[in-house]
Amino acid sequence: MKRSKASIATNRKAYHEYTIDETFEAGIELTGTEIKSLREGRANLKDSYARIKDGEIYVVNAHISPYSCGNIWNHEPKRDRRLLMHKWEIQRLYGKVRERGYTLVALSLYWNERNKVKVELGLAKGKTFVDKRQSIKQRDEKRINEREFRSR
């Protein structure tokens, strides 16, 4: 069964809270019941981020619900999951996070074309209250302009 970048979960709150400068793709290390739960579409990335620890990168606070038909070997829903990236990519991200005050935010969880689960990470800076209001204003103006264009 082939999938072409079918989305499992997205972190819509991240686009409101942060300015995303760059995005990266990473594989994720999962257990069997986590994969089965993802096939059911039971994942939530709200408030999830990535942390670099001991030269490895982990996604924290990503909630994958327990598998409905699982038994005593079911997984813990909010455990830290290791991401699979090249060492040089992790070192590059570590430098940016340390020096420039960036945050690594999990943006989406999806199936790639070879039926593997991937995580899209964003290198982000936090928005201030004023920035959030401006982005809301721009989004509303864009929506109004599109509505006027359609009505003509």
Total length of the chain: 152
pTM of the model: 0.79
Report the CATH fold assignment for 6-127: Small Protein B; Chain: A; (2.40.280)
Listed as own residue / partner, the contacts of 22-25 with beta carbons closer than 8 Å and 24 or more positions apart are 22/122, 22/123, 23/107, 23/120, 23/121, 23/122, 23/123, 24/85, 24/89, 24/93, 24/120, 24/121, 24/122, 24/123, 25/118, 25/119, 25/120, 25/121
Domain ranges of the chain: 6-127
The pLDDT of residue 37? 87
The pLDDT of residue 1? 42
Q: Consecutive sets of 10 residues in the chain, 152 residues long: mean pLDDT of each?
A: 70 88 92 86 90 93 85 82 94 89 91 89 86 88 89 76
